[in-house]
C-alpha cells in the first residue's frame, strides 16, 4: 500500500513539474520574440557591431557583448 501512495505522490510531482516547465518555456519564447522584435531596425556590420547608421569600423558603445574600442 505504501508503494502505491508513493507512486501517486511521484505522479503528482511529475505533473506539477511538467506544468512548471511548460510555463517557463512559454515565458522564454515570449522573451525571445520580444527581443527579436526589439532587434529589428538594427543591422549587423561586417565587424560584428550592431548599429543604426554607424560607420563600418565603429562599435556600439554600451551594448553587452560588444567591445567599446
20 domain residue, yes or no: yes
22 domain residue, yes or no: yes
64 domain residue, yes or no: no
Predicted structure pTM score: 0.50
37 domain residue, yes or no: yes
Give every residue of the chain whose pLDDT is below 50, as ranges.
54-61, 63, 67-69
Cβ atoms of 41 and 52 closer than 8 Å: yes
d(CA 59, CA 30): 29
How many domains does one find in the chain? 1
Which residue range(s) make up the domain with 43?
A: 2-51
Cβ atoms of 44 and 63 closer than 8 Å: no
What pLDDT was estimated at residue 38? Answer: 84
Which residues, including other chains, have CB under 8 Å from residue 46's CB and lie 6 or more apart? 56
31 domain residue, yes or no: yes
Amino acid at each position: 500500500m505504501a508503494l502505491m501512495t508513493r507512486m501517486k505522490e511521484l505522479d503528482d510531482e511529475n505533473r506539477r513539474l511538467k506544468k512548471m516547465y511548460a510555463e517557463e518555456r512559454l515565458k522564454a519564447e515570449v522573451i525571445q520574440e520580444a527581443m527579436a522584435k526589439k532587434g529589428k531596425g538594427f543591422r549587423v556590420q561586417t565587424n560584428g557591431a550592431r548599429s543604426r547608421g554607424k560607420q563600418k569600423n565603429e562599435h556600439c558603445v554600451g551594448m553587452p557583448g560588444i567591445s567599446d574600442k
